[in-house]
Structure 1
């Protein structure tokens, strides 16, 4: 599993692009992706969770996250992309000292 965070800016939005009240605007990592943004809806952060195959890397995860972003149909410009491979995350449990 990969978690991809895309920071960007929206292009010109028209009246048909209704962004407020959309379920996509809750801060969480989901396969469909979610947005958070500034009050003026110019800058945004898009969070997407991407399944990982045994041979998949950051490039494939980024491509799938961008495809999820494209599915919303909003005009955008990507500023930065961060990818976390959840397979590499080690969890330390409290109370287990050695």
Structure 2
């Protein structure tokens, strides 16, 4: 499982897109989902898109996760440009339990 965060900027949003984003801006849930979730500023210029991408093959890496997350972002249908992409491979995360002794 990968968690991908894409930071970007909207480009040339039509009035219908702007209205849809304005009405949904407060209802967006912040979190990682397979469909992806948006957070954006009130001016609708910058956004953060969070997407959870399953590893389809054991050797899948950041490149494959990034490609799938960008496809999920593109599927949202808003014109954009990508500024930064961050990928976390959840298979490498170690969880420390409270009270665990070494």
TM range (shorter): over 0.9
- Confirm or deny: 8 A CA contact 2:22 2:42 kept in the other structure: no
Cα RMSD of the aligned pairs, angstroms, is 1.4
Per the alignment, residue 22 of structure 2 pairs with 20
CA apart distance, 1:68: 0.1
Please say if 1:81 is aligned against 2:85.
yes
- SS of residue in 1 equivalent to 2:97: coil
CA apart distance, 1:61: 0.2
What is the distance in 2 between the residues matched to 1:21 and 1:35? 13
CA apart distance, 1:20: 2.9
Structure 2 unmatched ranges of 5 or more: none
Per the alignment, residue 69 of structure 2 pairs with 65
Structure 1 unmatched ranges of 5 or more: none
Please say if 1:97 is aligned against 2:98.
no
CA apart distance, 1:60: 0.2
- SS of residue in 1 equivalent to 2:21: coil
Question: Greater helix percent: which structure?
Answer: 2
What is the distance in 2 between the residues matched to 1:89 and 1:22? 32
Report the TM-score when normalising by structure 2.
Answer: 0.90
What number of residue pairs does the alignment pair up?
98
